[in-house]
Amino acid sequence: MKICPTCGTKLDEDDIFCPECGARVDKKLKTPFEKQRMKKISNFLKGFIIFFLFILIVFILLAFVGTMIARR
Ligand SMILES: [Zn+2]
């Protein structure tokens, strides 16, 4: 549900102008969606970085354990 940022009237998703105050709402309301998309991308990147670090730690541990076993 869209809401007019000027007067708070509820609008249809495809409304370009607010029927109550006549304010243009299409461009202003795209910003939160862009932010949501950015959040999704940053969350995805965070998940990817955590996954990558986890794999890296597992590899380091495996290498460490491997050298420990080789020394014995
Ligand atoms: Zn309005």
How do the pLDDT tens digits run along the chain, 72 residues long?
Answer: 888 888 999 998 888 889 999 988 876 555 667 778 888 999 999 999 999 999 999 999 999 999 999 887
Domain of 14 in residue numbering reads as 2-71
How many domains does the structure of the chain reveal?
A: 1
CA dihedral 10, 14, 17, 21 (to 10 degrees): -10
13 CA from centroid of ligand 1 (Å):
14
SS3 17: strand
Q: Please tell me the predicted confidence (pLDDT) of residue 30.
A: 57
Who surrounds ion ligand 1 at CB < 5 A? 4, 6-7, 9, 18, 20-21, 23
27 CA from centroid of ligand 1 (Å):
14
